[in-house]
Amino acid sequence: MEEKVKQNNSLEIALLEPEIPGNTGNIARTCVALGAKLHLVGKLGFVIDDKRIKRSGLDYWFRLDLTLWDHLDDLFHDFLERYPDGGIYYTSSKAKLCYTEVHYPPHTLILFGRETHGLPESLLLAHPERSLRIPMLPEARCLNLSNAAAILAYEYMRQQNFPNLLKIGEVTGRGD
């Protein structure tokens, strides 16, 4: 069995009660590609060994740094205990702050809500300065969860100058 990929240990993505296994699998694959940690919180809309999750994550699933949490408060406590200077950010189409207007601290946790309901408004109201939105047309309700997670994850990585990531590829000429 192969070892887990090197973790950046700086970006952590959390999904609160995710419902669609394909989205979670896609986000898991993004986390592996970036060396980010994934947290799944609360009641999941699928079983963790669901073949649809593993199919979405393809052969990356065993490399994933994954933690399951029953309660969001436990995740927050753990994160802030490990990184007292870390930042927790909340995502929502209802937020007023654009995700590109934030300077993310080295240790960042980005929280995403359920596909059908998003995050509880109480979290957004309690943390408006850390509630982020991705700009879109007014008639668009929201983006796909895995797309939104990738957008924010790569913005974080861009601001950190893509630590430990291969930034230059190579054409080998070995086929199309």
Among candidate residues 167, 143, 16, the one with its CA nearest the CA of residue 88: 16
- Report the distance separating Cα 52 and Cα 58, nearest Å: 9
- Report the distance separating Cα 58 and Cα 158, nearest Å: 25
- Amino acid at site 8: N
Q: Is 45 annotated as a binding residue?
A: no
Sequence-separated (6 or more) residues with CB below 8 Å from residue 157: 11, 34, 163, 165
Q: Is 13 annotated as a binding residue?
A: no
Known binding positions for S-adenosyl-L-methionine:
113, 134
Known binding positions:
113, 134
